[in-house]
Amino acid sequence: MTTALVILVLLAVAGWVGWGFLSRRALLPCPAAFSFVVERDNPLAKFTRAAHVVERLAPKPGETIADIGCGPGRVTLPLARAVAPGGEILAIDVQPAMLAKLEAKAAREGVENIRRLATDLRQAKLEPNSLDGAVMVMALGEIPDNAAVLPALYAALKPGGRLVIAESTFDPHYVAIRRLRDMADAAGFSDRRCFGNLFGYSLLLEKPAATRSAELPEPGPGPAAA
């Protein structure tokens, strides 16, 4: 009995670690059938709680915010309420079944300002300089070969746009803060503030407003002097 239990625990640990490891190379997202795992806040993982993520991003009415790897909408719905009236959430997930759960929940709660996009983020053609902000909660590590993810989000954010990335150590796809900071630096983000403990962290990044002049076309020669 004890041996069987030990074997079971070892298999579970191996599966957990193996899933995280294999996800670096292949798309193996948390199946929609297990969405109940992320349907509610984990009371221990303070920094991935919906209220914390929303507070960190500080969305304002009228803003356009992307929720990347939104799952069944734990964070999406409070974000949608925070940008109303006039704002919109772009909810992106690779699994249409997750987006169907989000759609049903939004309909039940009368939330109408969510645009759903079923795509692998790596193939999403996000309009440059279109987002006021974005969040990515327990999703970055599920995206294989994710080096291009932060540069793509950087391009999609408006100058001064904010990005909150939150990770929990309860997730087999946990991305360590040091690795994330290297990726964020390489993409050009300013590192604003990090909150963290043993169970995870949230990092607020910003696309520097100064990039605006670098991205505008060179001024022409101007009118000739009379």
Residues forming contacts to ligand SAM in the complex (CB under 6 A) are 27, 29-30, 38, 69-71, 74-75, 92-95, 98, 120-122, 137-139, 142-143
**Which of 1, 125 has the CB closer to ligand SAM?**
125
**Which of 30, 57 has the CB closer to ligand SAM?**
30
Grouping H, G, I as helix, E, B as strand and the rest as coil, residue 1 is: coil
d(CA 92, CA 104): 16
Q: How far is the CB of 155 from ligand SAM (least distance, A)?
A: 16
d(CA 145, CA 180): 13
**Which of 70, 82 has the CB closer to ligand SAM?**
70
Q: How far is the CB of 159 from ligand SAM (least distance, A)?
A: 25
Q: How far is the CB of 139 from ligand SAM (least distance, A)?
A: 4
| Token pair of 24 as six digits | 């670096």
**Which of 30, 187 has the CB closer to ligand SAM?**
30
Q: How far is the CB of 121 from ligand SAM (least distance, A)?
A: 4
Q: DSSP per residue over 85-150, as a string? A: TT-EEEEEES-HHHHHHHHHHHHHHT---EEEEES-GGG--PPTT-EEEEEEES-GGGSSSGGGHH
